[in-house]
Amino acid sequence: MSEQQHSGLNRRGFIGALGTGATMLAATPFFSGEAHAQGQPSVAATASTRSARTRTIPRTQQTLTTLGLGTFLTFDAKPGDDRRNLGEVFRRYVAGGGRVVDTSPLYGSAEVSVGAFLAGTPEASEIFVANKIWSTGEYLGDESHAVASFEQSRLRIWRDTIDLMQCHSIVNAPVVIPLMQAWKKEGRIRYVGVTHHEAAAQDQLAELVERGGVDFIQTNYSIFDRSAERRLLPAAEARGVGVLINLPLEKARLMKVVEGRSLPDFAREFEAATWAQFFLKWVMAHRAVTTVLCGTSNPEHAEDNVQAMYGPLPDETMRRRMVQHMETIPGFADIGRMPWYPGKEAQYQGLIRAAQATARTRLGQ
């Protein structure tokens, strides 16, 4: 998979179009262990002088930025809630050179939020939108729910052609994948993909890659959970299939483990100024990985994450050193037993959390 610094994105034009009344992006300190690094140039300054890293997928020759914006939980808001902070996350991601957004009908109101933000973004036509289908149908071979979901997604994000549609969590794949292949042939979508967020599903994803017929796979992969290296990533690389990564920060659990700790000195060698950049660059450095999806509802964290697309990436020797360093940190080995978003239980209170709370009440939990 080829890698390049993408120079075709008109970021200066985008930032200028925001107007003089737009919120200025804050400069951040360099080489702190906190979320925001002191002394690090703002994302706007970085994007105006350097090009964001991209990868080109051999199978399709599609070029994508190596950081994508995830929207699970983080972009879910209740009707009427103030979404200005989410709009600022989106703006800073795009201003920093990011051009990939991943969403799903299952992510509460995330699709609606993405559609609204795209409508107000001058560079909307440059943004690669990855969406999903979760459809079981009423009976074997029933396509009606998948078709209805697809049409709803097109309206929510206001796109006639969706860049990538993915079979969400491999649900009903024998029906959904051929349907998406037909949509691709008809020009309704550009690419066909399949996703999952658990390591136990990676062999099944690898089988789909090896069988052919998918342009992208999406899987979990992080410095903590490296199981995708065993079979799935080599299979995708061998067949030129695009790879989207979810859970690169293990749903904030990695950040919790290193909370209050300083970065190791060797992080300077690949210009990681914060722990988030440290973890994101580790994933980006795998040659089979196309785009690393990272979601947040915090604009400063979005700006921090974007910086991972700039500067050098660690080589394989350095990546091993990074793993070895993490293995010395207490709690790292126990991340798999930690709850998602530790300490942030009350933070994401959109439609998904409301539905979960209702279910618990009904069950008397």
Could you give the domains of the chain? 31-359 (3.20.20.100)
The pLDDT, as a whole number, for residue 95 is 96
The pLDDT, as a whole number, for residue 349 is 86
Residue owning tokens 């920093």: 96
The span from the CA of 256 to the CA of 34, in Å, is 11
The pLDDT, as a whole number, for residue 82 is 93
Q: What is the pTM of this model?
A: 0.88
SS3 18: coil
SS3 316: helix
- pLDDT lower than 70: segments of the chain: 2, 4-48
**Half-sphere exposure of 8 toward its Cβ, with a 13 Å CA cutoff?**
9
The pLDDT, as a whole number, for residue 356 is 83
The pLDDT, as a whole number, for residue 43 is 67
Task: Sort strands 28-29 and 39-40 into parallel, antiparallel or unpaired.
Answer: antiparallel
The pLDDT, as a whole number, for residue 348 is 85
